[in-house]
Amino acid sequence: MIEIRPSNQRGAGDHGWLQTRHSFSFADYYDPAFMGFGPLRVINEDHIAPGAGFGAHPHADMEIITYVLSGALSHRDSLGNGSVIRPGEVQRMSAGTGITHSEFNGSETDPVHLLQIWLLPERGGIAPGYEQKAFSKRQRQDQLCLVADRDGRGGALTIHQDVALHACLLGRGKTVTHRFGPGRIGWLQIASGRIGAGGKTLKAGDGAAIAGEDAVTLSAEEDSEFLLFDMTGGG
């Protein structure tokens, strides 16, 4: 089963400085049919205006992954970390027993476009943590690049959940195939372009729940960027 979550059916918020779309219920957007998928709880697509951002706010017991598509996002947290996340860089923040952070667009001219992902951790009460790594275009071009994983395989970020997250820049006419182990489920999130999957076409902003499939083959109808999650079936 490959079930598409169309971009135009997501929750939406217009806050002036922030234009946001929610694949799953979040903040004031609530849809009991879309509360998450497996351990995946949030996929928000955010556009943050120049000079704007989220002030310091707390989180607990959540694995938070930030994937920047364009622009640059500044991050500060109560662990003393301060960084800038740019395209090709992926950040993992484990909220654990509690962390406070802020996210800000330091540019006065350029917006930031990003995906923020929340995953339920495999257990509560872990120590808060932070990690950020860069993955080159070459690593992601026309192949599935593992950017986050429970065991941090191959230089991926380490996350506290049985999830393998892949990023890919797939050129027009190119194809990649991913095989799922027994009982595994997947989520496909299209950042740009158009991708064919299981006889269906997904465009920018679309997502797809994948269950009961041994493998999925993804074909680019135009130059595309996407994320693919391979997850435990449990929440």
In three state form, how does the secondary structure of the chain look? CEEEECHHHCEEEECCCEEEEECCCECCECCCCCCCECCEEEEEEEEECCCCEEEEEEECCCEEEEEEEECCEEEEECCCCEEEECCCEEEEEECCCCEEEEEECCCCCCCEEEEEEEECCCCCCCCCEEEEEECCHHHHECCCEEEEECCCHHHCEECCCCEEEEEEEECCCCEEEEECCCCEEEEEEEEEEEEEECCEEEECCCEEEECCCCEEEEEEEEEEEEEEEEEECCC
User: For strand 73-77 and strand 99-104, is the pairing parallel, antiparallel, or unpaired?
Assistant: antiparallel
> Residue 218 belongs to a domain with what CATH number?
2.60.120.10
Q: Residues 101, 14, 67, 214: what is their CA dihedral angle, to the nearest 10 degrees?
A: 120
The pLDDT score that the predictor gives to residue 214 is 95
Can you give the residue range of the structural domain that contains 116? Answer: 2-232
Strand 215-232, strand 163-170: pairing: antiparallel
Residues 48 and 18 sit within 8 Å (Cβ to Cβ) = yes
Structure confidence at residue 128 (pLDDT)? 93
Distance separating alpha carbons of residues 43 and 114, to the nearest angstrom: 10
The phi, psi pair for 15, rounded to 5°, reads -110, 20
Point out the residues of the chain with pLDDT beneath 70. 234-235
pTM attached to this predicted model: 0.95
Cβ atoms within 10 Å, residue 193: 19
Radius of gyration of the chain (CA): 17
Residues 6+ apart with CB under 8 A from 14: none
CB 184 within 8 A of CB 232: yes
Q: How many domains does the chain have?
A: 1
